[in-house]
Amino acid sequence: MNKSCQDLRPMLSDYLDGILERKERSELEDHLQNCPDCQHEIETERQVINILTCLPYQICPERVTQKIEDATDSMGKPYPYKIKRQFHFDFYHWKPLYVGFALTLIVILILLKPFRPHNDGIEDSVSQEDLLKARNQAKWSLAYIAEVIHDAQKQAVDDVLMNELPKTFRKSIRSTFSIVKGEKK
Amino acid sequence: MNQNKFKILLQEQRNRVFSYSCYFLRNREDAEDVTQEVFIKLWKNMHKIDKRKIVPWIIQVTHNCCIDRVRKRKSVKETPKYVSSDNLDKIMVKTEKQADPELSFESNETHQILLSALHTLPERTKSMLLLHYFQGLKYKAIGTLLNTDAGAVKVAIHRGRKMLREKLTPHFIELTERCSDE
């Protein structure tokens, strides 16, 4: 087998399938005219394809057909195909219903409001001054809590910087921010 | 689909199903069982199948049933009743094309050798070759059926063809010599 055979033999299958490009096909056909080895190979493969394609149909025995017919007769008609209507839980599909329901609910609440008992207990017993005092007290308390939290956070950060970090880091931080114990910079 | 239409379909497709099963399983009894199984499944699922896709459905179910049968054989480890080379001709049917007895003999002999060679191939390659050349399916359709891509099918078919060619070459040489002697 010469080099040209080695190059062209992978194309033989594509040639037989009829999917080879025109240029390659003509190249292969030229080669086939002069190469009995490749000719033999292609002929053998063509014969294999012919035999595979022409494998005869086997006749199915009548008793098998009869058995199938008997079985289908005894089973009766197959279950008819029905398209089941499925419930789609889709908001856009049911949007009008939701809107209607919400509007009905609002109307019912409006209608029921006059029958609600009037609440005149707490608001009248507390004076405006007391309310103002209580509000200010709450404001100061919140400010105090915020300050405590802020201090605690700062303390925690300082602790980490001073104790948890490696020595080299601490040195570099000190040189940058010049942290001294007891002072806040 | 009513019973009459089913019967027409059965008459049209039974030989295709039976032949494929015969060649795949190499056993007539199993092929008969597979044919029954396929058509009963078809009857049960008729309402679900698109009318235009009935034939591909039949081919696919036939192939799957054959594979199931092979797996069952392997799991039970039962000895498959392969048709021996002596009475392999029983599986072959003399068609009208083979009216010439000499031609018929040669063709049958070649078919027998081809079938024997076919059964030495891997299961997947064998099924691809049968689906492509015997059932006439395209690479893409085979790929869909066997859950692979068309390129892989093409490669496997080419490889299978090459293997068959290597196995059949001595027979072809013998045939040529016989012809030249006469």
The percentage of chain A sitting over the pLDDT mark of 70, rounded to a whole number, equals 76
CB contact under 8 A, A58 and B46: no
Residue in B with minimal Cα distance to A48 = B165
Q: What ipTM was estimated for this complex?
A: 0.74
For B110-128, what is each residue's pLDDT tens digit?
Answer: 788 888 888 888 888 999 9
The DSSP output letter for A56 is P
Q: Residues A16, A45: contact at Cβ < 8 Å?
A: yes
pLDDT (0 to 100) of residue B78: 54
Tell me, what's the pLDDT at A119?
Answer: 57
Q: Name the residue among A13, A47, A60 with its Cβ closest to that of B15.
A: A60
Q: Is the pLDDT of residue A123 over 70?
A: no
pLDDT of B36 = 93
pLDDT of amino acid B104: 43
Q: Check B169 against A81: CB less than 8 A apart.
A: no
d(CA B17, CA B35): 6
Average pLDDT in the A17-31 region? Answer: 85
3 state DSSP class of B149: coil
CB contact under 8 Å between B18 and A58, yes or no, is yes
Q: How close is the nearest chain A Cα to the Cα of B15, in Å? A: 5
**pLDDT score of A182:** 56
Res A104 pLDDT > 60 = yes
Beta carbons of B31 and B25 less than 8 angstroms apart: yes
Average pLDDT over residues B137-165: 90
Give the integer Cα–Cα distance in Å for B158 and B126: 12
Set of chain B residues whose Cβ sits within 8 Å of the Cβ of A60: 14-15, 17-18, 32, 35
Please name the residue of chain A whose CA is at the shortest distance from the CA of residue B126.
Answer: A52
With an 8 Å Cβ cutoff, is A39 touching chain B? no
Instruction: Give the nearest partner residue to A59 out of B93, B110, B133, using CB atoms.
Output: B93
Q: Which residue has the tokens 């100061």?
A: A140
pLDDT for residue A36: 85
How confident is the model over A46-64, as a mean pLDDT? 86
Residue B39 burial (10 A CB sphere; 0-12, 13-18, 19+) = buried
Query: Does residue B88 carry a pLDDT above 50?
Result: no
Tell whether the model's pLDDT for residue A103 goes beyond 50: yes
Range in A49-58, A144-153, B165-174 with the lowest mean pLDDT:
B165-174
pLDDT at A157 over 50: yes
* pLDDT score for B102: 43
pLDDT of A169 reads 73
Q: Is the dihedral of CA A29, A33, A37, A39 positive or negative?
A: positive
Confidence bin at B5 (pLDDT 50/70/90) = confident
pLDDT over threshold 60, residue B91? no
Average pLDDT, chain A: 77
